[in-house]
Amino acid sequence: MCTNRVYHQYTADMRVIVKAVGTVLVSIVLSYPLWAPQWGLGILGEIAALGMPGGLIAVVVFFGLVALYCRALQRTMTAVRPDARTAAPASVWWMFAVPYNFTEDFFIVRTVSASLAADGHVAEGFVRRWAVLGYGWCAFQILSLFPGVVGYIGGAVALPMWAAHWIMTVRVNRALDVRRATVSPAPSL
């Protein structure tokens, strides 16, 4: 019992350390235009290159898509049996906490996949593929922050992986909705 509590405290402490170190490293990469301007202007330069209102529209559309994706993930977590959830459904909205989100996204994928696995309604292989695809877009998203060709390739790979992951999330939600419809009692008239 005591060993189990120590283990859980250790893993919680390690998560905090990984998230903090990850956020610092991402912040360093995001700020490269300040300390290595010869590498380019970074994401802010890319947005500025679109001019006004193009840059503003691009940012609003991107964050709108992230909000829709978070809503889909929250729906997944809400549809999972409460006793199988490894986090609150609203925790997926940490994706908006820039630059913390770049590290947190990995943990969100882990939390949702662990919850789906514990729920047991979705096939194990599908959950595993869903998680791998999720970790993939998270990794390439970080790679997209780097300057030059590496960043462009990272973004070019991350976006379709994110879209595919979103499609898989919608499929999971449909499967969970079917379960909920068959389990829910018929409405009284």
pLDDT tens track for 126-183 = 999 999 999 999 999 999 999 889 999 999 999 999 999 999 999 999 999 887 767 6
Rounded Cα gap, residues 135 and 98, in angstroms: 18
Segments making up each domain of the chain, as ranges: 2-181
Type of residue numbered 112: V
For 81-101, what is the mean pLDDT?
Answer: 95
pLDDT value of position 188:
42
Rounded Cα gap, residues 143 and 29, in angstroms: 10
For 27-54, what is the mean pLDDT?
Answer: 86
For 51-56, what is the mean pLDDT?
Answer: 90
Nearest to 89 by CA among 115, 67, 64: 115
pTM of the full structure: 0.87
For 87-102, what is the mean pLDDT?
Answer: 96
